Amino acid sequence: MHHDLNPPVTHTDLNAHSIFLTDDFAAKIAQTTFRNIVTRSEANKERRKKSELPPHDDPETNVYCFGVLLLEIVSGRLPHSVEQGSLVDWAAGYLNDKGSFKYLIDPTLQSVKDNELDVICEVVKECIQPDPRLRPTMREIAIKLREALRISPEQAVPRLSPLWWAELEILSVEAT
């Protein structure tokens, strides 16, 4: 969304609660709180500078949130819990040592290949960099994941979902 839409937009609250899976396990972003990057006001920028919370309407924070989401998926853990604290803090030690990546993975994920795991963990590490300027763009992340996981755009398209077919029918009716 940062690079494919004009003007670019960000999702203001990207997390596991805003992602749903279709019948054929295609991910759909369900929450519609998007913001146009171009139209942010100077007042909002000043307010964000004073806030202790990270801003949710810039690409760098979306990248951070994506990294946390990816970490949730591969670890099977919540982003924060009273017992275990912050997922990012827990994972930091493992992410700093490539040999420890395997300890991040949810044991129920049995089909993860080592080379794919390495790339996914590297992406997570880059996304959750404390300095937003050091984080990759979503375009860079998409390219890296696409190459490592060898998923073509055609493979990423949901094909079996009744909702997908309904969307196609609506689009074809609207086009006529």
**Any domain includes 2:** no
Q: What pTM was computed for the model? A: 0.71
Task: Give CB contacts under 8 A, 24+ apart, made by 118-123.
Answer: 119/144, 119/145, 119/148, 119/149, 120/70, 120/74, 120/145, 120/148, 121/74, 121/94, 121/95, 123/67, 123/70
Residue 55: domain span: 9-175
CATH number at residue 131: 1.10.510.10
**Any domain includes 66:** yes
pLDDT tens profile 77-108: 999 888 889 999 999 989 998 888 888 889 88
pLDDT tens profile 120-161: 999 999 999 999 999 999 999 989 998 888 877 776 665 666
126 φ, ψ (degrees, to nearest 5): -65, -40
- The tally of domains found in the chain comes to 1
